Chains A and B, each alone.
Chain A
Amino acid sequence: MTVLGYLTNGLVFGSIIVLGSIGLSLVYSIADFANFAHGDTMTIGAYTALVTFGVIGGLGGAVLGLPYGFFFALVVGIAAAAVVAVATEKLVYEPLDADSIGLLITSIGIAFIYRAVIQIRFGSDFTRFGIRSLRPIESLVPYGVRITLHDIAIVASAVVLVVGLHILLQYTDLGRKMRAMADNPDLARVSGIRTKRVKLWTWVIGAGLAGAGGVFLGLFNQLAPRMGFNLLLVIFAAVILGGIGSVYGAMAGGFLIGMINQLTPFFSNVVEALPIWPGVLNTVLEGLISIEYANAIAFVIMVVVLLVRPNGIAGEGAT
């Protein structure tokens, strides 16, 4: 594969990470805690879509290699993730008398409950959507780019959702309220904003995007009850890289982490080709920069960013 090929893979994977990281970042800034159940919210979206798609089938035609039914299932998945998140907020987080650390610990419990329910219902094995996987687009293969129509659909849908969110945040009343709340919840409250309602909308948007991310992750790889939890730390890495609380930072961070993740094989080729001296260092680097450590590299980047630039690359207050 060429650099271009890895870059396009990074673009596709990055889109999925972006969908996850926006929601995590929104909840982090407005509900004010690190939501460890966010990854499993993605899993909920993915499995709901799986069930819906299994029930309704293809519904006739297809766009970008995906049947209409899949898009309907995507919407249902988004809705289910949002409903579950709102119900959790209402039933668990809201009555809880806890600081952000208490909420963080609670969210781990919530994550386990989500995952356990899915695993009890579907087993712990991998599954796939009942969609025939496509061959890479012929005309792009000479350039070393091996992407399918499905990948294009993922990127296109992510772009639509992200642009929609941008319009919502910048040009609507709700968006302004959300930005005000992220900035200073007390001030927002005394200014007459119904902060509880805004918080609920934050959950809807954040979890909905996560649900979409989960469906696309299932399309990109496979579905498994652990898919969301496994991706959670990568998403955290993206959010932290972009700066916690900054939605646009989360987008940038998601892209970068997705790129780095998919470019790891390229980096390892580079390291192999470079004459690094001394030989010991070369061996160590070759050992550590390999596909097995793609996630580990993201985590190390995350820790380094936390230490060096805790506000992330986008800086503070860019919600």
Chain B
Amino acid sequence: MSLFDGPRGALSELTRPEGWVLGVSVAFLLFLLVAMLTGALGPTYFLFLVGLAGMYALLSFGLNAQWGFTGLINFSVAAFFGIGAYGTALMTASGSPIAGGLNPLVGLVVALVVALALALLIGIPTLRLRADYLAIASLGLAEVVRLIVLNERWLTNGSAGLRGIPGFFHGWPVLSTFPEAMPGLRLEVIPGSPVTLKTAFWQASLNVLLVLAFAGVTYFVLRRAHRSPWGRVLRTIRSDEDLARALGKDTYSFKMQSFVLGSLIMALAGVFYAHLNLYVGPGDLDPITTFYAWVAVILGGSGSNRGALFGGVVIVTIREGTRFLNDVALPIDPAPLRLLLIGVVIVAVMRYRPQGILPPQRELIWPSAVDGGGTPETPDSGVRERKGGGDNE
């Protein structure tokens, strides 16, 4: 599967679901492009959606590092997401009751440190538990975190939430003034419906660049980690924890590492969200966020990072699509419709395709192992002879 095979060769190597996903994605992208060019979809809003999709993908990467790699049923995704968002918001927002006005980089570091502490706090007691107990306990602890954020007004501003969060690039040398410095562009692709690109557009494109950077780095780190010996241990734990223990692996420690890694990625998604949305409130810690991430991961394929990316895009489509439907066609409240779609997707995936749409296949194999000539060479002599072992066990 080298690049020299050309597009035709790469295409023919795709499995059927991969082909489908590629086709649908391309069609969807074309649809959005057309909508944008005709002015039905504002380019700034489009970039906001891309940012949101990147954020859900990041969140799903985090969950994938826990559930997909190690099989940890973590139902506290929303807590880590919220802690990430609140961590940076409390440091940078003008309306912050404790600090405020600091550089967003400080916010990023603080958010990650707080998320690390929370991951240890939740992980130390719960990771010893059986899988289904872990699910219940983590959901309960996430609810505790939400209640604390909601009620400790001196710390978090309570139900009013935090306003006045600056963009992530606030205070950076060039990038902080980049959106204002860029001239307004006026594109007229289709005569009569011009598309103007103003400061908000450049601001949004910066956000997209940021989430692409976050998600890109995370993707490559996770891909590398999943293939590494460390990732193999995690996969062993996922399929049979007793086996991993019998092989002398400290499974608790490995589970903790995977839990912390995933939690930090979720907090990163939260940081991005705070600087994208410029407002965070206790509603962002609602358990529904957890299940958005879960839908993205099981729909995409547990353990598959590409799948998580795909799932993230689907989630944004559901989230914003229901709002759009409500505005245009069906006068149904988008909130329950969203809930219904999420529920139906969960049930349908578990019923008809429990491995997800893009289950990990070649992702887990080193490319060199595939390119290196297929089947390994047959050794001249058997292992037993070479070791000089006896003929009986």
Contact = CB atoms under 8 A, between A and B. Distances in A.
B292 to A, nearest CB: 11
Contacts of A293: 147, 151
A124 interface: yes
A197 B351 CA distance: 22
A311 to B, nearest CB: 12
Contacts of B206: none
B182 interface: no
Given A295-B147, A299-B143, A113 B350 contact: no
A235 to B, nearest CB: 10
Contacts of A115: 336, 339
Contact of A303 (B141, B344, B346): B141
Given A95-B351, A104-B132, A105-B294, A120 B140 contact: no
A293 B342 CA distance: 29
B333 A123 contact: yes
Interface residues of B, number: 42
A173 interface: no
Q: What's the dominant secondary structure at chain A's contact region?
A: helix
B126 interface: yes
A120 B340 contact: yes
Contact of B340 (A95, A117, A306): A117
B343 A113 contact: yes
A290 B153 CA distance: 14
A120 B333 contact: yes
A112 B125 contact: no
B243 interface: no
Contacts of B126: 303, 306
A240 interface: yes
A102 B141 contact: no
Interface in A231-268: 233, 236-237, 240
B129 interface: yes
A63 interface: no
A109 B339 contact: no
B136 interface: yes
Contacts of B337: 116, 120
Given A113-B347, A119-B333, A120-B332, A306 B291 contact: no
A59 interface: no
A296 B132 contact: no
Interface in B16-63: none
Nearest to B73: A101
A54 to B, nearest CB: 21
Given A92-B347, A299-B143, A119 B354 contact: no
Contact of A104 (B135, B143, B150): B135
B128 A109 contact: no
A225 B141 CA distance: 23
A55 interface: no
Interface in B105-138: 125-126, 128-133, 135-137
A112 B340 contact: yes
Given A92-B347, A123-B333, A296 B143 contact: yes
Given A240-B136, A306-B133, A108 B147 contact: no
B136 A106 contact: no
Contacts of B335: 119, 124
A310 B132 CA distance: 12
Contacts of A316: none
Contact of B339 (A102, A119, A310): A119
Contacts of A290: 151
A96 B346 CA distance: 12
Nearest to A97: B354
Contacts of A34: 132, 135-136
B350 A96 contact: yes
A305 to B, nearest CB: 10
Contacts of A109: 342-347, 350
A111 interface: yes
Interface of B: 73, 125-126, 128-133, 135-137, 139-141, 143-144, 147-148, 150-152, 291, 294, 298, 332-333, 335-340, 342-347, 350-351, 354
30 contacts: A34-B132, A34-B136, A92-B347, A104-B135, A105-B298, A106-B347, A108-B343, A109-B342, A109-B345, A109-B347, A110-B343, A112-B339, A112-B342, A113-B343, A113-B347, A115-B339, A116-B340, A117-B340, A119-B339, A124-B335, A233-B140, A240-B133, A292-B151, A293-B151, A299-B140, A299-B141, A300-B140, A306-B133, A306-B137, A307-B129
Please name the 7 residue pairs, one residue from A and one from B, whose CB atoms are nearest each other, closest first: A109-B346, A112-B343, A299-B140, A116-B340, A119-B336, A113-B343, A116-B339
Given A101-B131, A112-B342, 11 more contacts: A112-B339, A112-B340, A113-B343, A119-B336, A124-B335, A293-B147, A296-B144, A299-B141, A302-B137, A302-B140, A310-B133
Interface of A: 33-34, 92, 95-98, 100-102, 104-106, 108-113, 115-117, 119-120, 123-124, 225, 233, 236-237, 240, 287, 290, 292-293, 295-296, 299-300, 302-303, 306-307, 310
